[in-house]
Amino acid sequence: MDHASPDHSCAPVLDALVAYHETGQVPFTPPGHKQGRGADPRVREALGDAVFTSDVLATSGLDDRSSSHHVLERAQALMADAVGAEHTFFSTCGSSLSVKAAMLAVAGPHQELIIGRDAHKSVVSGLVLAGIRPVWVDPQWDPDLHLAHPPSAEVPDPVELRLEQVMLPRDAFFGRTELVPWEKAAGRVAAEMLTPYPPGIPAAVPGERLGTEVLQYLRTGVEAGMVVPDAADPGVKSVKVVVRPTEDR
């Protein structure tokens, strides 16, 4: 039996938001600003009311308490059809939360997960949160376009800035640590993310053994104006590393 193609001119979430306003509903659910009624007048003057009137819950807001109008379900089905996926899932609070949720859905503590080494730092946070063991795959550098393509079945050899993962990110992050001068950090195991931002791709991940090339890259980068916001020492004059077993007394 053939199914009709979804109507991509529809926008279920947007239509539901319009309907919510047209019916003049008074919310008895979060958010606490109550469509701007409870917001400080100075904030409303600076931001405008649209910020607040568009801030509506999915249930008991865009839809009723039982989601009987299937607002999100219909919107997610349209997205799945648009990108050729079986299912899509919408999330709020930024994409970093969605990344962690996706990782927790497919792997647990000490289970392996294949990850591109140019992944965003939110992926490393997910590794720390879940105790997942990463299996790093290097991206393919395109010298003509000056960008990295996703990993493929043909994996290139690691380059100088590629570090060896010797501990679980979670174990390194939550283990005994110390700060050492960056000049003495080569060969030590990182206990923090060292992430030039943007683009937010960690140069070093907790549990990786630090190399001289990476440390020099970070230090010279900072001197040239690079920002490394996740580091214990954003100037990267010192680096947080795992205490060696002989020093852990």
What's the pLDDT score for residue 30?
85
For residues 240 and 232, is the Cβ–Cβ distance under 8 A? yes
For residues 124 and 168, is the Cβ–Cβ distance under 8 A? no
What's the pLDDT score for residue 247?
58
User: CA-to-CA distance for 215 and 72, rounded, in angstroms?
Assistant: 46
What's the pLDDT score for residue 158?
52
User: CA-to-CA distance for 6 and 81, rounded, in angstroms?
Assistant: 8
Quote the tokens at residue 7: 């109507």
What's the pLDDT score for residue 2?
46
Q: Which residues in the chain land under pLDDT 70?
A: 1-3, 93, 150-160, 247-249
For residues 222 and 235, is the Cβ–Cβ distance under 8 A? yes
User: CA-to-CA distance for 205 and 191, rounded, in angstroms?
Assistant: 8
What's the pLDDT score for residue 155?
40
- Give the residue range(s) of CATH 3.90.105.10 domains in the chain: 98-247
Asked if CATH classification 3.90.105.10 holds for the domain at 98-247, the reply, yes or no, is yes
Q: What is the dihedral of CA 138, 139, 142, 146, to 10 degrees?
A: -100
What's the pLDDT score for residue 226?
84
150 phi, psi to nearest 5 deg: -60, 155
201 phi, psi to nearest 5 deg: -100, 115
Q: What is the dihedral of CA 14, 15, 17, 22, to 10 degrees?
A: 150
